């Protein structure tokens, strides 16, 4: 092992207990997006004890208070800024045996957050920044999971945030200004064969809140006086399902609605039914195109039943594309760390999931890769962290080693990756202009006094 690698691994190992303790604490205190105050407080205290000065998202004048923060570690030599981030939020998954107040870290963000603390501690060890140029920005971001759409829409209305996703919100606030490249490690429950895995990217997504409004009445005695919003909603979902064969495989479109439940008793015709859904896809263009078809189907179903319909569409996350050259560097580091046969990087494989890391990859080169060490189903009630050594310590070591490779020798490799990267948008500002296309909040079916019906399923 060369001296540099040995120094970095020793620095990571020295703080293993700090990393493991953080992982357990955050697992036991799960909170969903934009409410992750306990994890936030825990990490802030430890970052400050390590001597870091933090830019806190709850103390930013001009913006609403949300969890999350970042700190810049300057090497003292000019060069690019590398952002390493971890996510804070849990999922609403009340049936998980270890859920707390209905929430659990069934996506493993507790491990990511702990990993970034481990990196922060290791970077304080003597010699860690020797020979490096540029800046390392360590960032803890809230709200990766795009859930609780009603709550998030309220936060947007109140002006607390402008976007559903934490990284997009952080971009909007300028916390990525001056960042040249970004990386993060997610957890995977992919078994024992590999320690590190990575695909080429993820679907993008947009968020839909679909509200059918009918009229309540006695379900037995006077159903003829009611308008059944539940039937309109299920008919709308059926119409969307019947469109599935018109979707093209290349676009990877996913539409997965959930009914939020009737707010009435069994002997009442339901007067309101809310559906939340995403439309996911490989490209923004495909998502825009297919979303119009889904909205048309949803509106047609409302008209068929004589129901009102309100559609609230919001931008979600952009398609994620890992930078090829950056990915090769990460793969090389991972192979060197755990052995070639323990690493599986697939350069042509795309997931139909989504992450707001996609928004980051629209404007700078980025890689999100995964460490194994969990068992069960991602987003499932059987998901547990089983091997913190593989899950957390591999992530700490690999990211430290990648940062070292990127920023050594005048940050030559980081500069090379930045130079060859082709952004999907010329600037973060252009990116925000484009995703505005998904913003729609309107009545989608208008009933005229003359009996005419107008469907308004586009902006």
Footprint (CB under 5 A) of Zn ion, residues 294-323: none
Which tokens sit at 49? 């004890």
- In DSSP notation, 384-441 reads EE--HIIIIIHHHHHHHHHHHHHHHHHHHHHHHHHHH---SSSSHHHHHHHHGGG-EE
Distance CA(151)–CA(148), nearest Å, equals 5
Kindly give the pairing relationship between strand 91-92 and strand 103-104: antiparallel
Report 125-184 residues binding Zn ion (CB under 5 A): none
Give me the 107-136 binding string for Zn ion, x by CB under 5 A, dash otherwise. Answer: x-----------------------------
**Shortest Å, Cβ 224 to Zn ion:** 45
Q: Rank residues 107 and 329 by Cβ distance to Zn ion and give the closer one.
A: 107
Size of site (CB under 5 A) for Zn ion = 1
Q: In angstroms, give the least distance from the CB of 251 to Zn ion.
A: 22
Please calculate the CA angle 183-71-122 and round it to the nearest 5 degrees: 70
Closest by CA position to 228, among listed 293, 308, 173, 167:
308
Strand-pair category, 103-104 with 445-447: unpaired
Residue closest to Zn ion when measured from CB atoms: 107
Interaction mask 81-110, Zn ion, x per CB under 5 A: --------------------------x---
Measured from the CB atom, the residue of 280 and 405 that comes closer to Zn ion is 280
Cβ closest to Zn ion, residue 91 vs residue 171 = 91
Question: 133 vs 394, which CB is nearer to Zn ion?
Answer: 394
Distance CA 317, CA 352 (A): 12
Q: Taking the complex as a whole, how short is the minimal distance between the CB of residue 389 and Zn ion, in angstroms?
A: 20
Least Å distance between CB 89 and Zn ion? 8
How near is the Cβ of 104 to Zn ion at its closest, in Å?
11
Sign of the dihedral through C-alpha 437, 438, 441, 447: positive
Planar angle of CA 370, 165, 399, nearest 5 degrees: 30
Q: Which is nearer to Zn ion, 15 or 29 (CB)?
A: 29
* Least distance CB 184 / Zn ion (angstroms): 10
Cβ atoms < 10 Å from Cβ of 248: 12
Q: Shortest distance, CB of residue 140 to Zn ion, whole angstroms?
A: 14
Minimum gap (Å) between residue 349 Cβ and Zn ion? 18
Output 100 or 453, the one with its CB closest to Zn ion: 100
CB 160 within 8 A of CB 93: no
Q: Are 319 and 181 in contact (CB under 8 A)?
A: no
Q: Is 240 an interacting residue with respect to Zn ion (CB under 5 A)?
A: no
CB nearer to Zn ion: give 107 or 207.
107
Nearer to Zn ion among residue 143 and residue 155 (C-beta): 143
Tell me whether residue 377 or residue 420 sits nearer to Zn ion (CB atom): 377
Minimum distance from CB of 353 to Zn ion (Å)?
Answer: 7
Q: Which of 366, 327, 332 has its CA nearest to residue 348?
A: 327
Which residue number, 205 or 418, has a Cβ lying nearer to Zn ion? 205
Closest CA to 248 of 207, 286, 297, 293: 286
Place of tokens 């709550």: 151
Contact (Cβ atoms closer than 8 angstroms) between residue 131 and residue 25:
no
Write down the least CB distance from residue 187 to Zn ion, Å.
Answer: 8
Nearest CA to 302 out of 256, 235, 255, 238 is that of 235
Residues at the interface with Zn ion (CB under 5 A): 107
């Amino acid at each position: 092992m060369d001296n540099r690698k040995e120094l970095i691994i020793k620095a990571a190992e020295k703080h293993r207990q700090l990393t493991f303790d953080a992982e357990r604490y955050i697992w036991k205190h799960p909170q969903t997006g934009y409410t992750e105050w306990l994890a936030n407080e825990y990490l802030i205290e430890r970052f400050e004890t390590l001597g870091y000065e933090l830019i806190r998202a709850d103390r930013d004048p001009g913006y609403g208070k949300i969890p999350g923060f970042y700190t810049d570690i300057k090497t003292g030599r000019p060069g690019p800024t590398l952002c390493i981030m971890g996510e804070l939020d849990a999922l609403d998954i009340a049936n998980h045996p270890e859920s707390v107040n209905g929430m659990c870290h069934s996506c493993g963000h507790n491990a990511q957050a702990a990993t970034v603390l481990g990196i922060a501690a290791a970077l304080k060890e003597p010699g860690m920044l020797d020979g490096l140029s540029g800046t390392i920005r360590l960032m803890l971001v809230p709200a990766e999971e795009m859930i609780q759409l009603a709550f998030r829409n309220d936060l947007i209305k109140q002006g607390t945030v402008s976007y559903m996703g934490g990284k997009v919100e952080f971009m909007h606030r300028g916390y990525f200004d001056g960042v040249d490249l970004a990386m993060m490690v997610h957890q995977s429950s992919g078994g024992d064969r590999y320690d590190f895995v990575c695909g080429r990217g993820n679907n993008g997504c947009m968020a839909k809140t679909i509200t059918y409004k009918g009229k309540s009445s006695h379900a037995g005695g006077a159903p003829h006086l009611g308008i059944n919003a539940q039937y309109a909603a299920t008919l709308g979902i059926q119409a969307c399902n019947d469109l599935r064969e018109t979707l093209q495989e290349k676009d990877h479109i996913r539409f997965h609605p959930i009914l939020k439940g009737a707010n009435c008793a069994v002997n009442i015709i339901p007067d309101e039914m809310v559906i939340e859904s995403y439309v996911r896809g490989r490209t923004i263009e495909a998502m825009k195109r297919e979303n119009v078809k889904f909205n048309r189907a949803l509106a047609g179903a409302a008209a068929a039943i004589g129901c009102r319909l309100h559609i609230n569409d919001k931008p979600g996350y952009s398609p994620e594309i890992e930078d090829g050259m950056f990915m090769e560097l990460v793969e090389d580091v991972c192979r060197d760390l755990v052995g070639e046969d323990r690493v599986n990087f697939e350069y042509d494989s795309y997931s139909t999931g989504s992450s707001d890391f996609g928004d980051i990859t629209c404007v700078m080169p980025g890689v999100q890769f995964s460490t194994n060490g969990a068992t069960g189903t991602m987003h499932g009630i059987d998901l547990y962290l089983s091997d913190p050594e593989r899950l957390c310590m591999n992530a700490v070591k690999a990211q430290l080693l990648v940062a070292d490779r990127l920023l050594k020798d005048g940050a030559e490799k980081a500069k090379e990756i930045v130079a060859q990267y082709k952004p999907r948008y010329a600037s973060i500002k252009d990116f925000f202009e484009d995703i505005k296309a998904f913003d729609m909040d309107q009545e989608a079916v208008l009933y005229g006094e003359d009996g005419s019906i107008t469907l308004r399923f586009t902006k």
